[in-house]
């Protein structure tokens, strides 16, 4: 997506801050507009609030509730811009450790990336995303480079996720090697790059305890 695809139109400072924060986390370009300001023809989707909705004249308007998590509305915007009503195959790639790199991919394309501070936060984030994001298939791929962290995360996800979500253990060897396409001068870049590579590798399916019932 390029600059101009998405526009934020709101007079609410709180809504603007939360939407911008989430868009930047996903590295999505956007325009910032005030209510009644002319919307460029290049804009394909507008995110606004209920209070400002009446001021927006555009065929693709998405209304954000100020006190809610902005992720769902941005998910819907991305789907619409890709011409989809839902996701295809969602893959969550996880590089576990003291800092956790997380990437969500839809049919091979990166939807979002996150850096998380604990295994518990990672499990909660994945659980909420799985619940919120409709897809025909959902797979969580977890790197095996830090066995203790991987084991703890698998145990948490096994309890938290529906049984139709597949969990895989992925060999991490080589996932942190830099390349010309994905240099990573910052630690954050390294964690995300590793998570992307993990998401794209074939793994070994983990037996779900709930399947024993």
Can you state the angle between helices 71-81 and 119-132, rounded to 10 degrees? 50
Beta bridge partners of 73: none
Q: What is the pLDDT of residue 35?
A: 93
Q: What is the pLDDT of residue 67?
A: 85
Q: What is the pLDDT of residue 195?
A: 93
Is residue 90 within 8 Å of residue 134, measured between CB atoms? no
Residues of the chain with pLDDT under 70: 1-3, 85, 174-188, 210-213
- d(Cα 182, Cα 166) in Å, to the nearest integer? 28
Specify the pTM: 0.69
Q: What is the pLDDT of residue 126?
A: 96
The whole-angstrom distance between residue 111's C-alpha and the CA centroid of its chain comes to 5
Q: What is the pLDDT of residue 88?
A: 84
Q: What is the pLDDT of residue 103?
A: 93
Q: What is the pLDDT of residue 175?
A: 56
Q: What is the pLDDT of residue 183?
A: 46
Q: What is the pLDDT of residue 174?
A: 65
- d(Cα 108, Cα 196) in Å, to the nearest integer? 10
Residues 6+ apart with CB under 8 A from 37: 9
Q: Enter the tokens of residue 168.
A: 């895989």
The pair phi, psi for residue 189, each rounded to 5°, is -60, -40
Per DSSP bridges, beta strands 6-9 and 31-33 are parallel
Q: What is the pLDDT of residue 188?
A: 58
């Amino acid at each position: 997506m390029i600059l101009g695809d998405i526009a934020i139109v709101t007079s609410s400072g709180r809504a603007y801050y939360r939407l911008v924060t989430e868009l930047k986390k996903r590295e999505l370009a956007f325009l910032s507009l005030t209510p009644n300001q002319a919307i460029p023809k290049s804009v394909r989707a507008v995110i606004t609030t209920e209070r400002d909705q009446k001021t927006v004249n555009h065929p693709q308007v998405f209304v954000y509730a100020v006190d809610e998590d902005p992720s769902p509305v941005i998910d819907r915007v991305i789907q619409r811009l890709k011409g989809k009503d839902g996701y295809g195959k969602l893959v969550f790639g996880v590089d576990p450790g003291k800092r956790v790199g997380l990437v969500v991919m839809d049919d091979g394309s990166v939807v979002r990336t996150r850096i998380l501070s604990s295994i518990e936060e990672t499990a909660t984030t994945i659980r909420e995303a799985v619940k919120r994001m409709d897809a025909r298939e959902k797979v969580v791929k977890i790197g095996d480079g830090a066995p203790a962290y991987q084991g703890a995360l698998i145990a948490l996800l096994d309890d938290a996720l529906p049984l139709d979500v597949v969990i895989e253990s992925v060999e991490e060897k080589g996932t942190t090697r830099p390349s010309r396409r994905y240099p990573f001068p910052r630690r954050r870049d390294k964690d995300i790059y590793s998570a992307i590579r993990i998401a794209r590798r074939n793994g070994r399916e983990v037996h779900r305890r709930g399947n024993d019932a």
